[in-house]
Amino acid sequence: MFMKKRSYSIFFWIKALLLTLGSFFLILCILAFTTVPFWAYYRLSGAFDTRHATEAIVLLSGAGIPSESGLMRTYYTAELAALNPTARVVVAVPGKLSEKDSDPNRVLRELQLRGVDSSRIIYANTGRNTRTQALEVASLLQGTAVADDITLVTSPEHIKRAVLSFKKCGFKQVHGMAAFESSLSTDLRFDDKPEKGKQLLPPIGRQLHLRYQFWNHLKLEIIVIREYFALTYYRLRGWI
């Protein structure tokens, strides 16, 4: 009798878990057809996105060079450095400077390709997460002339957490430049009829929502959920 009750209880909780997960996934799929995921993503970055004059530019590490996040952040750092020719550039990328192909040195070469003079660059290469990067940059810059106004360059969803982390470490004026990707300006809709092929499925050449937006929004939902978990963790640890 005890075993029957126990088996029933386990089955009940498995069923409840599957129903909950299924409902959650269904909600995510429905929201992916709307603009909610984009605005949730933008909310993490939009309030801090800026191109104003700054005294120090801090490039926060992405996934390395080459990678989507690493190259995007490096591109925007070089762009901001060109707009602020007297600003110091802090490369907050972990790695050994003595190794030619380490991540900090790869970032350096990428910045040089985009016109940033190496004499402007300061390395902060020991931080392993946003908190430790903020602490390291604070120890490098605080008390110097360039510490009064800094701009962080990072991925859009990471801007809010990064700005709050650096403010927690004592920086008063902290701004952010979100490394947003650009979409093609060309209209990608097309007429399916000239393409011929089998007619088993309805034409989707003019359905950009189904071809691109739905899938992009699913990815944004995962990014946003992950980032809010990270923000919650940072708040509980007292890091923001």
Q: Please say if the pLDDT value at position 71 is more than 70.
A: yes
Q: Please say if the pLDDT value at position 133 is more than 70.
A: yes
Which tokens in the block code for residue 230?
Answer: 């990270």
Residues sharing a CB contact under 8 Å with residue 26, sequence separation 6 or more, in sequence order = none
pTM of the full predicted structure? Answer: 0.85
In a domain, 211, yes or no: no
Which tokens in the block code for residue 86?
Answer: 């007297």
Q: Please say if the pLDDT value at position 50 is more than 80.
A: no
Q: What is the pLDDT of residue 109?
A: 95
Least-confidence region, from 26-30, 49-53, 71-75, 218-222:
49-53
Pairing state of beta strands 88-92 and 56-60? parallel
In a domain, 79, yes or no: yes
Q: Please say if the pLDDT value at position 197 is more than 70.
A: no
Alpha carbons within 13 angstroms on the beta-carbon side of residue 103 total 23
Q: Please say if the pLDDT value at position 200 is more than 60.
A: yes
| Sign of the C-alpha dihedral computed for residues 209, 212, 218 and 219 taken in this order | negative
Q: What is the pLDDT of residue 125?
A: 94
In a domain, 69, yes or no: yes
Write the CATH number for 102: 3.40.50.620
Rounded CA-CA distance 84/52 in Å is 9
In a domain, 232, yes or no: no
Which residues form the domain of 119? Answer: 47-178
Which tokens in the block code for residue 147?
Answer: 């510490």
More confident residue, 207 or 61: 61
More confident residue, 156 or 2: 156
In a domain, 120, yes or no: yes
pLDDT tens across 180-195, in order?
Answer: 887 767 776 667 666 5
Rounded CA-CA distance 29/23 in Å is 10
In a domain, 128, yes or no: yes
Number of domains in the chain: 1
Which tokens in the block code for residue 183?
Answer: 């979409």
Q: What is the pLDDT of residue 240?
A: 94
Query: Which of 5-14, 38-47, 52-61, 196-205 shows the highest mean pLDDT?
Result: 52-61
Q: What is the pLDDT of residue 172?
A: 85
In a domain, 227, yes or no: no
Residue that has been written with the tokens 């992916």 in this structure: 32
Bridge partners, 89 (sequence order): 57, 121
Which tokens in the block code for residue 66?
Answer: 């080459």
Q: Please say if the pLDDT value at position 161 is more than 90.
A: yes
